[in-house]
Amino acid sequence: MTPSLDTNASAATLTKADFQSSAETRWCPGCGDYAILAAVQGFLPELGIPPERTVFISGIGCAGRFSYYMNTYGMHGIHGRAPALATGLAAARPDLAVWVVSGDGDALSIGGNHLIHALRRDVPIKILLFNNRIYGLTKGQASPTSELGKVTKSTPFGSPDAPFNPISLALGAGATFVARTLDTDKHHLPAMLRAAAAHPGAALVEIYQNCPVFNDGTFDALTDKQTRAASVIELEHGEPIRFGAEGEQGVIRNGDGDLEIVAVADVGEAALLRHDAHREDPSLAFALGRLGQGGGPQPIGIFRSAPRASATAQLAAELRSAHESFGDNDLSALLHAGDTWSVGA
């Protein structure tokens, strides 16, 4: 569930400062994490949910520091386990807004299993996946999203592994909300955060994040003012998918059923694919997530937003029922309430 607005704290009374901790931020100069932190702290007051009802759980990596910089409840978990910790908290305390902050290495390597099952169960948590395509904290090894052939300290002859596509992975796990945005986009990033916060189930937002030390410029084509228009396909629900400085490029489904980038002048606007983020069938979102996989223009925006009944809501109801039946203090009664076995008697 999505926590309701607090009657004693609203967007009118909360400010960015309410979510800023006194801890000194310690990321490398120019790191995209600074922009993401500012965006998160800046948009949270809009929700009207006070800091004491907000939780940020992080894993290991540069992104793991995030929870220290938020003036909310939080936990710096062990490697890859942030979604598991968040799942338990969301089930036990549905009144809280629970966020997960993780990097591509933390979430998609050792934490991959926890991530896909949190998405599969549609746990009401919001997962921010910082993707810089490198291991930053451990000084520049190839990560699960590093490009094929990427030369790094751990792959001096080029990475032999095909990279994970986080959008494809999330959709394959059954995620009901999947989006992608850019760390330095001051308008698009907060919009994706708002949409994720409003979603009643699990929401994954992949954030392309620059690492200025170990993978600088990997997303320059998408962020540079000179190249952005031709490199970024902004998805808008219900709108034809087109891009370019004058909207001269578009996306169609060709005769083979594949998605293809074409000149609008050659096919006409009526032939363009119209984005439907609310489709129950995730196949279109999956196909869009593969665009630009090997280079070329890449989509950003909401790929899928299709709410469904959450298994975690049922679990939370069962926990409430157990609490009402046994109370806070009768632990012995709870332990002996079901089948028991005597060993060695």
Cβ-Cβ contacts under 8 Å for 134 (sequence gap 6 or more): 140, 141, 142, 143, 146, 152, 211, 214, 215, 218
Q: What is the structure's pLDDT at 83?
A: 96
Rounded Cα distance between 334 and 268, Å, is 67
Instruction: Let me know if residue 252 belongs to a domain.
Output: no
Output the furthest CA–CA distance in the chain (Å, rounded): 84
pLDDT tier at 287, thresholds 50, 70, 90: very high
What does the pLDDT look like over 63-118, one tens digit per residue?
999 999 999 999 999 999 999 999 999 998 999 999 999 999 999 999 999 999 99
Residue with tokens 């039946």, as numbered in its chain: 325
Is residue 99 within 8 A of residue 129, CB to CB? The reply is no
Q: Provide the token pair at 26.
A: 């310690």
Q: Is residue 76 domain-resident?
A: yes
Is the confidence at residue 3, as pLDDT, over 80?
no
Q: In the block, which residue shows the tokens 């942030």? A: 82
Cβ burial of 214 (10 Å; 0-12, 13-18, 19+) is buried
- Rounded to 10 degrees, the C-alpha dihedral 109/111/72/49 comes to 110
Question: 293 and 271 in contact (C-beta within 8 Å)?
Answer: no
Q: What is the pLDDT of residue 101?
A: 97
Q: What average pLDDT does range 218-229 have in this prediction?
A: 96
Q: Where are the beta strands (DSSP E) in 183-280?
A: 203-208, 232-234, 242-243, 249-253, 259-263
Is the pLDDT score of 325 beyond 70? no
More confident residue, 339 or 102: 102
CATH label of the domain that carries residue 85: 3.40.50.970
Domain extent, residue 189, equals: 16-218+309-314
The DSSP call for residue 17 is: G
| 66 found inside a domain | yes
> Would residue 155 count as lying in a domain?
yes
Q: What is the pLDDT of residues 151-190, one digit of tens each?
A: 999 999 999 999 999 999 999 999 999 999 999 999 999 9
Pairing outcome for strands 73-76 and 126-131: unpaired
Residue 305 has pLDDT above 80, yes or no: yes
pLDDT band for position 295 (50/70/90)? confident
pLDDT at 28 over 60: yes
What's the number of domains the chain is made of? 1
Residue 340, domain member (yes or no):
no
| Confidence band, pLDDT 50/70/90 cuts, at residue 333 | low
DSSP SS3 for 208? strand
For the chain, percent of residues with pLDDT exceeding 70: 87
203 by Cβ neighbours in 10 Å (0-12 / 13-18 / 19+) ranks as buried
* Model pLDDT, residue 317: 72
pLDDT on residue 7: 41
pLDDT of amino acid 331:
61
Which tokens go with 53?
Answer: 């009802």
Q: Are 77 and 127 within 8 A, CB to CB?
A: no
pLDDT at 334 exceeding the cut of 50: yes
The answer to whether position 236 is within a domain reads no
Average pLDDT over residues 295-321: 83
In a domain, 229, yes or no: no
Mean pLDDT of the chain: 91
Residue 1 reports pLDDT greater than 60: no
- Mean pLDDT for 256-285 is 96
b/e per residue 54-63 (b: at least 16 CB within 10 A):
bbbbbbbbbb
Around 279, how many Cα atoms within 13 Å sit in the side-chain half-sphere? Answer: 15
Please report whether residue 232 resides in a domain.
Answer: no
pLDDT value at residue 294: 82
Distance between CA atoms of 1 and 281, rounded to whole angstroms?
23
Structure-token pair, residue 36: 């993401």
